[in-house]
Structure 1
Amino acid sequence: MATVLSVSGSPSASSRTALLLRHLGRHLTAQGHEVIHLDVRTLPPEALLGADFGHPAIVRAAALFERAEGVVVGTPVYKAAYSGLLKSLLDLLPQYALTGKTVLPLATGGSTAHVLAIDYALRPVLSSMGAAHIVPGWFTLDKDITVADDGTLSVAPGTAEALAQVTDQFSAALGARFAAGLAVT
């Protein structure tokens, strides 16, 4: 099927967002997609904050975006918007880095007051970067994500069903674009 880049914009090493993306990545892999994970926090801070477009790590990250037919973008919500770390990376990518790509935006946060961050903060940026199709995203409350001491993740039943549904919609959209020969290679 398609190659999917799963991007975590969380600055935290113990990020629920990153764990949730890996959980959804397993679901996409089971559907036949190749999933590549990119934790933005692992990129060199000096390259991100210094806008070093030519830094080898930034060049590699941009190549991952170019290679993917689909992109899952996950971020914690801070101050009613996506993370500054994610913004730093998006600013270093080519203007139309998402051209021809199917994109699934996801966000996590502590309050339902931030549920519109996907539609009012993240979606416009993804659209401006040329995304061919941005499927409906999903906001997950932190309280619905539980991480055990061994690092395993569990998601509250209603949230798990909703996440499976949006992930299936993303997979179907990818499959349709791939079958129609519309995927960028």
Structure 2
Amino acid sequence: MATVLSVSGSPSATSRTGRLLRHLDQRLTAQGHDVIPLDVRTLPAEALLGADVRHPAIARAAELVARADGVVIGTPIYKASYSGVLKALLDLLPQYALTGKTVLPLATGGSTAHVLAIDYALRPVLNSMGAAHIVQGWFTLDKDITVREDGSLTIAPATAEALGEVVDRFSAALGRTPVLAAAS
């Protein structure tokens, strides 16, 4: 099956966004995909903010993107946009780093007022980076994600069902990614 890079753009170690992504990674793995998690917050801040594309951690992240057939990008929404750490990483990747890739944008936030941030803030950037296919994304309210004391995750039933369908459509789309013709 496909190699999927699952990118958490949350700056928090206890992020609902990150936990939700790792939960969805399990579904993709069960479907036969090779899933590689990447938490942007673990990349060196000095390299991210200093635009040090030669830093080994940044070069490795770019290599993981290049290797992936599909990319899941998850972010909390802050002030009607995706996170700054995610923006910093996207800025350091090559201009067309997503060429030929299927991309699933996911977001979490405290209010439905942010639901359009995926389409108006994140999707244009992913498009500009050459994504072959950006599947329908999904916004999850923070209140629909509960992290229990033992670290396990509970997702509200309707949200869990919708997320399952979104991930399944992404998984199916990975098999249908168009092959770009080589320039003659």
Scaled by the length of structure 2, the TM-score of the pair is 0.96
Paired letter, 1:96: Y
How do 1:167-182 residues align onto structure 2 when only pairs under 5 Å count? Answer: 167-177=167-177, 182=179
Offset of residue 83 of structure 1:
0.2
Aligned residue in 2 for 1:65:
65
Offset of residue 102 of structure 1:
0.0
How do 1:92-107 residues align onto structure 2 when only pairs under 5 Å count? Answer: 92-107=92-107
Deviations 1:20-72 (A, max 9, x none): 00110000000000000000000000000011011110000000000000000
How do 1:1-185 residues align onto structure 2 when only pairs under 5 Å count? Answer: 1-177=1-177, 182=179
Unaligned runs of 5+ in 2: none
Deviations 1:64-95 (A, max 9, x none): 00000000000000000000000000000000
Partner secondary structure for residue 159 of structure 1: helix
CA distance in 2, matches of 1:12, 1:111: 19
Count how many residue pairs are aligned between Structure 1 and Structure 2. Answer: 181
Partner secondary structure for residue 104 of structure 1: strand
Partner secondary structure for residue 53 of structure 1: coil
Percent same amino acid at aligned positions?
79
Deviations 1:139-178 (A, max 9, x none): 000000000111111100000000001000000000223x
Shift >4 Å, 4+ stretches? none
Offset of residue 127 of structure 1:
0.3
Partner secondary structure for residue 168 of structure 2: helix
Partner secondary structure for residue 139 of structure 1: strand
Partner secondary structure for residue 86 of structure 1: helix
CA distance in 1, matches of 2:7, 2:153: 18
RMSD over equivalenced CA pairs, Å: 1.2
Partner secondary structure for residue 167 of structure 1: helix
CA distance in 1, matches of 2:105, 2:3: 16
Scaled by the length of structure 1, the TM-score of the pair is 0.96
CA distance in 1, matches of 2:34, 2:150: 26
Deviations 1:103-130 (A, max 9, x none): 0000000000000000000000000000
